[in-house]
Structure 1
Amino acid sequence: MTVTTTVSELRELLASDTPPVVLDVRWALGDPHGRDHFAEGHIPGAVYVDLDTELAAPPSPEGGRHPLPDLAELQDAARRWGIRQGQRVVVHDDLGNTAAARAWWLLRYAGHAQVTLLDGALGSWRSAGLPLESGVPAAPPPGDVVLRPGGLPVTDADGAAELAASGLLLDARAAERYRGEVEPVDPRAGHIPGAVSAPTGENLSADGTFLPVAELRERFEAKGAREAGRVGVYCGSGVTAAHQIAALEIAGFDAVLFPGSWSAWSADPDRPAAKGDRP
């Protein structure tokens, strides 16, 4: 299964006899109004997904701000979204898919391989001049998807530390957060010692689509992905790190997610924090 679906491909799929489920994961740090934005205008037939309550368990110091959800609860949510076993799913947000990638990663992790990101997110649909509908649609017919863990790898804080020491651990947050100059939400500033800065936003072109394959591969090879053999990713709370994993897959690299990310690491006073440009 490819990582992305283009707008033209999605338009054709929606008009086919077997349309996909379209999930709208409208979310941004500091903006709790995703559902309102969805109601103002969304792709016809799309289903709104709440990242904080449906794609994450309640926050905790040990699990971070967005722990992985209980799999039974995720399956219940996926069935509410109308996903049937084997059905294609296309996910997007309105922010370059940096939030929607969480749904992409979770469904893949839970064994539903038929899921892609709408390349360019909602902006690409708008730019193509395609229609939006407003309001809150009726709930779709319930799905029957069965989810199981293990489709994608995860690691914990100890594993992240080991990757930083002997593999490659990428920090997907903005560079100023990596350097420890600012920390708007988590207990301490800085980064996991040994981690390499690789801001998620640098995976994208100006129009919000992923960079071409060759450019993404060059980007991650410059970070050491080819020599490292093993690659891990973290961010603030395990959301934008999923976008990095999608970009790595496009470039031909497999990667493991540290779901707790900096929010869990920085909450543990026994975990060291590095600052500055260097790993």
Structure 2
Amino acid sequence: VGSSRAVVGYRIKNLEKDGVIESYITAINLGKLGYTSYKIYFKLFNLNDRAEKEFYSFMKEAKCVIHCLKTEGAFDCSIVVAVSSIKELDDFLTELKNQFSAIIRDYQISLVVMSRIFKLSKILIGKESKEPKAERFSGSKEDMALDEKDKAILQAIANNANMPIVEIANKTNLSIDIVKYRMRKMQETGIVNTFRAIYDTSKLGFHHYVILLKTRKITKTGEEMINSWAKMHHSVMYITKRIGNWDYELNVALASIDDFSEFIGEMKKQLSEMLESYDTIINTKIIKLNYFPL
């Protein structure tokens, strides 16, 4: 970036202090550990302050919930759950519905097939994103065994991806060499995907929109067209392909309602031959984020 290490470090500290950088997370491939991830969108009603507090407290305490967001628009809340069996998902939903039947009007579940995450420079300075920062496919579940040392390391860095090796070693009571070796092995085997910062897009002057796309009959060429358009468009932060009520989810950063209208118009034009319908939500607040539920 043309600045000294000290200057870069100082600027990063200011971004953290100002809340632009909220946290540093380790993206863990739970599929390799025998888990399947589902995204669930909720429509809520009769929601007073007490009911809302209890609902989100439940989400924070539920070990299988790895991501929870407050939203506005077509849905009021979205979560991601990671479970090792369909029974575990059913048990979670049964408990949730029994406890919060008075406020859950409806919910929709989808399974992630693929995710492509793009670099922040694409949004901030319009830099062309030739390759995604991270690309993940759900694929078949594996069940790679983790011992207690691996688990301790992942628990330490799941929400502290920038933690120094020395601190990880102290926190886990492991030697520095063991921590380095095991972290390298977990990256090589694909258990650890990426280390990345979580940004508050509102502090950067953007709203975080989620566009849920339902497509008509679509070919491989059509899929490539959607992915290529998402990769090239400077506002798209990431795209996921899903199995469920929608086929794709676009996460976009837009500064104003005019930008939103322009984006939707361009999307309809570019994807006119394959777009059936779409829904829109705005992510407003992160309630929980933890990629390691063990």
Q: TM-score w.r.t. structure 1 length?
A: 0.26
Specify which structure has the bigger relative contact order, considering alpha-carbon pairs within 8 angstroms and separated by 6 or more residues: 2
Q: TM-score w.r.t. structure 2 length?
A: 0.25
Larger Rg: 2
Q: Name the structure with the higher strand share.
A: 2
